[in-house]
Amino acid sequence: MPLHLRPGTAADAPALSKICLLTGNFGTSAEHLHTHRELLGLVYAEPYVRMQGTYAFVLVHTPEQKQKEGPEQVVGYIIGAYDTPAFEAEMAREWFPPLAEKYPVGGEGTLLDKWFYRLFANPPRTAEDVTSLYPSHLHIDILPSYQRSGWGRKMVDTVVRHLSSRGYRGVWAGIDSRNEEGRKWYVKLGFRRVESTVGEYWVMDFERWDGERGRPVGQVTAG
């Protein structure tokens, strides 16, 4: 299967939002949980290719015979922010207010839709006990039919190298505490759990990352 990684751009926002929805229920589709199916992507995907202070790499399936199978398809992504507190502050100032106006608290929708309405009105901030360890965070999602192919590790390796080239020493990811499969995956890759007053977080210290078969972390980026 012809897959490769490339830097993500704003043009990838619709594809990222769709992947976010199709994997948003612990790796399966969250379509049935929303009336407004764009909500997940508006929080966890699109800002990372539309705002400053972010990075994004997308996993692309390129058909071998484009004339028969069509153009490339984005089938996964790994995205994040370099400085999470600064990113969240900018989200609160610029990104969430228009969403809060469009999706007001008290509006119609599913229970999960209404959870997002409240989030837009009261943007979250990651606890300092996490951001004080490392400022950078990541999100990773791959469509189910492309999972278990080794590309998840390669995508993390790309981000480790990208952030290392900029002088960062680690990165963290937050997960839903009910996401047992996600937890197992981070453990398998060598992430360590950190205690937090709110939420569940997993950290990769770059000095511990063995990459793909022990390759040392170097000054390499994906772009």
List the pLDDT tens digit at each of the 223 positions of the chain.
589 999 999 999 999 999 999 999 988 999 999 999 999 999 999 999 999 999 999 999 987 765 455 678 999 999 999 999 999 999 999 999 999 999 999 999 999 999 999 999 999 999 999 999 999 999 999 999 998 889 999 999 999 999 999 999 999 999 988 889 889 999 999 999 998 888 899 999 999 998 754 343 443 333 2
CATH 3.90.1300.10 given to domain 3-208: no
CA separation for the pair 2, 153 (Å, rounded) = 17
* Beta carbons within 8 Å of 136's beta carbon, 6+ residues apart: 80, 81, 82, 83, 84, 163, 168, 170, 171, 172
Residue with tokens 């610029």: 94
Give the closest residue to 56 by CA, choosing from 9, 89, 24, 101.
9
The pair phi, psi for residue 192, each rounded to 5°, is -120, 145
Helix (H) or strand (E) holding 4: strand 3-7
Give the closest residue to 176 by CA, choosing from 26, 20, 23.
26
CA separation for the pair 193, 172 (Å, rounded) = 9
Give the closest residue to 81 by CA, choosing from 121, 117, 134.
134
**Residue 74 and residue 16 in contact, taking contact as beta carbons nearer than 8 Å:** yes
Residue 162 corresponds to which tokens in the numbers above?
């990208």
